């Protein structure tokens, strides 16, 4: 068996990417003022079913701007899953609010919607929904709670490009939605992100905040509010436009990749495999994650190290927000326990599942896993 290195993720850039990048270079439009930025904003908003798209420099700052736009006050609370990336909690904290975590569903790894209601208090102002690893959150109960309690919804769809919930595109729910276009996403601009909303006033505010809060030309350098330089360049947007042209193709490829891994790993008794579908969506397998079952006498870190020695790159699962040292130092999450997230964080990891993975690579990865597990 070959010991060639297999990366955990590699993008596909064999469409119109080169053509559009050369157009940027030949025209001289390489900054955020170039036409591909508006093209990507309009095309992505149309694809998701939103009225307004605002390109930004990455998915994390998309969350920062989304939270800032809610005008939260000290003592306000925002509910989010504990099983997610640090960007989600960081955006809440930087906005001056307190993150309140909810454990995840043991099958889908998304926020456990049955636990959200008990976390709502008179100080709750919003719910941050995060679609994790390829399956969407069950949105109907969340939307009902938000409507009943008058709460805002921020939908983090960074990992849900092309995914739907009961036929409606992920990224179309709630007051604000965000996407990441990092290199491991279905659609990439290298770095980059997008904020979407249906509120024209909110869209104008978000555009202003991402662009240093410049005013009209006569008072351009007179600032009434502090903003950020969170702009996306025309070069990045050109990549995104080319990638978006192939989204449906990429979705099909991801689902086929997940199906093949499941077929080949189904009888590996040491692994919990990802759920292929729920009543509201089929898995898009943004990444193919697995969890070591409780009888396995070692952790995810140990098998990841062994797979690395065999030339297979992997990544650990998210570390829960309520166990993050930086957030504990800020005195959040005292006496909080989320046993499902704690378990899968220690026993879960994902294997090579980027768009560059082919059938031969899948078989090679599975063969190397089988040398370590039963």
Which token pair is 5?
Answer: 């290195």
Residue with tokens 């999450």: 333
Any idea where the domains of the chain sit in the sequence?
17-103+110-244, 247-370
Name the DSSP letter for residue 231: P
pLDDT of residue 83: 98
Give the pLDDT of residue 1. 41
Q: Considering the entire predicted model, what is its pTM? A: 0.96
pLDDT computed for residue 182 by the predictor: 97
Domain 17-103+110-244 matches domain 247-370 at the CATH topology level: no
pLDDT exceeding 70 applies to what percent of the chain? 99
DSSP-H helix ranges across the chain: 17-27, 35-48, 59-68, 86-94, 139-149, 200-210, 234-244, 247-265, 300-309, 325-329, 339-347, 359-370
Residues 6+ apart with CB under 8 A from 89: 80, 99, 101, 321, 324, 327
Q: Which of 351, 347, 55 is nearest to 206 (CA)?
A: 55
| 151 within 8 A of 126, measured Cβ to Cβ | yes
At the topology level, CATH places domain 17-103+110-244 in: 3.40.640
Residues of the chain with pLDDT under 70: 1-3
Q: Closest by alpha carbon to 182, among 158, 206, 205?
A: 158
Q: What is the CATH number of domain 247-370?
A: 3.90.1150.10
Phi, psi of 52 (to 5 degrees): -135, 135
Query: pLDDT value at position 3?
Result: 61
């Amino acid at each position: 068996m070959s010991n060639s290195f297999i990366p955990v993720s590699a993008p596909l850039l064999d469409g119109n990417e080169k053509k559009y990048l050369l157009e940027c270079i030949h025209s001289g439009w390489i900054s955020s003022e170039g036409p591909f930025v508006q093209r990507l904003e309009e095309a992505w908003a149309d694809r998701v079913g939103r009225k307004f798209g605002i390109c930004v420099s990455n998915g994390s700052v998309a969350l920062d701007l989304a939270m800032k736009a809610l005008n939260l006050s000290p003592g306000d609370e925002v509910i989010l899953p504990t099983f997610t990336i640090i960007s989600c909690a960081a955006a809440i904290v930087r906005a001056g609010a307190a993150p309140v975590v909810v454990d995840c569903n043991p099958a889908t790894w998304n926020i456990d919607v049955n636990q959200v209601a008990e976390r709502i208090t008179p100080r709750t102002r919003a719910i941050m929904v995060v679609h994790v690893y390829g399956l969407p959150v069950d949105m109907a109960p969340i939307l009902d709670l938000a409507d009943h309690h008058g709460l805002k919804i921020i939908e983090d769809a960074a990992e849900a490009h092309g995914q739907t919930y009961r036929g409606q595109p992920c990224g179309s729910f709630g007051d604000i939605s965000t996407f990441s276009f990092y290199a491991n996403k279905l659609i990439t601009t290298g770095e980059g992100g997008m904020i979407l909303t249906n509120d024209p006033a909110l869209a104008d505010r978000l555009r202003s905040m991402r662009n240093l809060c410049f005013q009209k030309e006569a008072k351009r350098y007179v600032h009434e509010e502090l903003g950020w330089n969170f702009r996306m360049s025309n070069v990045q947007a050109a990549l995104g436009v080319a990638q978006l042209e192939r989204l449906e193709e990429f979705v099909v490829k991801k689902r086929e990749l997940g199906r093949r891994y499941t077929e080949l790993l189904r009888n590996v008794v040491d692994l919990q495999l990802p759920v292929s579908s729920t009543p509201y969506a089929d898995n898009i397998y943004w990444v193919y994650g697995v969890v070591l079952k409780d009888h396995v006498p070692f952790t995810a870190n140990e098998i990841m190290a062994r797979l690395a020695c065999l030339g297979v790159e992997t990544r650990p699962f998210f570390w829960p927000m309520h166990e993050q040292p930086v957030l504990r130092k800020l005195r959040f999450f005292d006496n909080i326990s989320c046993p499902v997230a704690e378990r899968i964080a220690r026993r879960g990891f994902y294997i090579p599942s980027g768009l560059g993975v082919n059938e031969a690579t899948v078989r090679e990865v599975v063969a190397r896993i089988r040398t370590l597990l039963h």
